[in-house]
């Protein structure tokens, strides 16, 4: 065995942190040596999360959040699974200490800090770090990720929505409205803390939209969609809360580019799936089911061409905690350190 790199997680007690620990229990190239939490300080993993125990993680103990980068000890990489403001502070510090950072918060995803302020309610005071940050969607930015010091891991909805839009990017007309009707389990809609609107009695046997007017993932999708189509994209994004725990399904309705045919769609769909191990194409949109992607790093996608309306309906599904958060983060880590891209996540 080669020497393993040492990794840490800030905010390991949240949903994404837990999923990271689940992955690191079996990742062959890493050693998880540092986990922090505000709630579980001093507890062993076996006490706090009995289902996550494994030979390589059983002895792990939660530290308090660091006071200085040195508190984290000698790390090769650190994952920030913290609130945005905490990540905004720590990402630059770790990066400056030559510890490579994968930030799973939203702090470094939006390149326009005015938009960031508008959607996150925070002042972005780290413009230097922001200019270094690479948007961590391997299927688009793999080469940049390889050498990045700071990777901004994409949001869960953006991952589900953008991956298939990237596949079909030359076939849809984003100057006409692109309508994204997204549905997520509760783990994608909020964190572990029990708060308003996520109690059992208000989620169970219920369904509704939320943040229709303004969700922080809308500008993230618009930014990337505009970038890879080279056109300012028109977007309508609405997330909904499913009465279940895990998974996001996106129904994206877009106008077909003039002259593009069913054969064109099938061609790019197949071609991408052959090139990208984590993208799986299905020939029927009804075959896209959340249970086929849960606990995996796959993004399943399909399209339905409606000739009468000239609209293509693109359906995609991911596990929001894996491909939409921890899994994609580890995929990024694998790329950054030259491990097989599938290590620990396939």
Give the C-alpha separation, 214 to 236, whole Å.
Answer: 10
Closest CA to 140 of 345, 281, 297, 331: 331
- Chain positions 293 to 312 lying near a second copy, rule: CB under 8 A, are 293-296, 298, 300, 304, 306, 308-311
CB 266 to a second copy: min, Å: 15
Q: Is 250 a residue of the active site?
A: no
- Chain positions 141 to 200 lying near a second copy, rule: CB under 8 A, are 177, 179, 181, 183, 185-187, 192-196, 198-200
181: alpha, beta or left? (left if phi > 0; alpha if psi -120 to 50): beta
Please report whether residue 270 would count as binding a second copy according to CB under 8 A. no
Burial label for 65, CB within 10 Å (0-12, 13-18, 19+), is: middle
- Chain positions 206 to 245 lying near a second copy, rule: CB under 8 A, are 206-213, 234-236, 238, 240, 242-245
Please report whether residue 251 would count as binding a second copy according to CB under 8 A. yes
Indicate the residue among 70 and 205 with the shorter CB distance to a second copy. 205
Q: Helix 217-229 crosses helix 113-120 at what angle (to 10 degrees)?
A: 150
Q: Which one of the spans 116-124, 148-156, 163-171, 290-298 is the region binding a second copy (CB under 8 A)?
A: 290-298
Per-residue 3-state assignment (H helix, E strand, C coil) for 262-275: HHHHHHHHHHHHHH
Provide the sign of the torsion angle of the four alpha carbons 37, 41, 44, 48, taken in this order: negative
String marking each residue 309-338 x if it binds a second copy according to CB under 8 A: xxx-x-x-----------------------
Rg of the chain on CA atoms, in Å: 20
Of 4, 44, 54, 83, the residue at the interface with a second copy (CB under 8 A) is 54
Catalytic residue among 133, 134, 156, 321: 156
Please report whether residue 275 would count as binding a second copy according to CB under 8 A. no
Give the C-alpha separation, 204 to 244, whole Å.
Answer: 8
Which residues are catalytically annotated? 156
């Amino acid at each position: 065995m080669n020497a393993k790199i040492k990794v840490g997680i800030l905010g390991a007690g949240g949903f994404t942190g837990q999923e990271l620990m689940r992955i690191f229990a079996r990742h062959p190239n890493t050693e998880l040596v540092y986990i922090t939490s505000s709630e579980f300080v001093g507890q062993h993993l076996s006490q706090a999360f009995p289902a996550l125990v494994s030979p390589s993680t059983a002895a792990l103990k939660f530290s308090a959040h660091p006071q200085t980068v040195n508190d984290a000890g000698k790390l090769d990489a650190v994952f920030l699974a913290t609130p945005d403001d905490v990540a905004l502070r720590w990402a630059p510090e770790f990066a400056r200490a030559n510890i490579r950072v994968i930030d799973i918060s939203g702090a470094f995803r939006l390149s326009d800090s005015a938009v960031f302020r508008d959607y996150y309610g925070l002042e972005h005071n780290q413009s230097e770090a922001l200019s270094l940050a690479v948007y961590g969607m391997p299927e688009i930015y793999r080469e940049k990720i390889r050498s990045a010091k700071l990777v901004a891991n994409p949001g869960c909805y953006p991952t589900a929505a953008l991956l298939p839009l990237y596949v079909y990017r030359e076939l849809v007309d984003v100057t006409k409205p692109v309508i994204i009707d997204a549905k997520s389990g509760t783990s994608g809609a909020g964190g572990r803390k029990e708060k308003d609107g996520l109690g059992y009695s208000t989620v169970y046997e219920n369904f509704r939209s939320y943040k229709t007017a303004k969700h922080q993932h809308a500008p993230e999708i618009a930014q990337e969609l505009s970038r890879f189509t080279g056109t300012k994209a028109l977007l309508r994004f609405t997330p909904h809360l499913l009465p279940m725990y895990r998974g996001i399904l996106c129904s994206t309705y877009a106008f077909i580019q003039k002259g593009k045919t069913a054969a064109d769609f099938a061609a790019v769909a197949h071609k991408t799936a052959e090139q990208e191990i984590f993208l799986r194409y299905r020939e029927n949109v009804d075959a896209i089911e959340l249970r086929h992607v849960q606990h995996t790093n796959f993004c399943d996608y399909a399209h339905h061409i409606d000739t009468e309306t000239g609209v293509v309906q693109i359906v995609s599904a991911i596990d929001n905690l894996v491909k939409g958060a921890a899994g994609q983060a580890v995929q990024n880590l694998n790329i950054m350190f030259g491990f097989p891209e599938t290590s620990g996540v396939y």
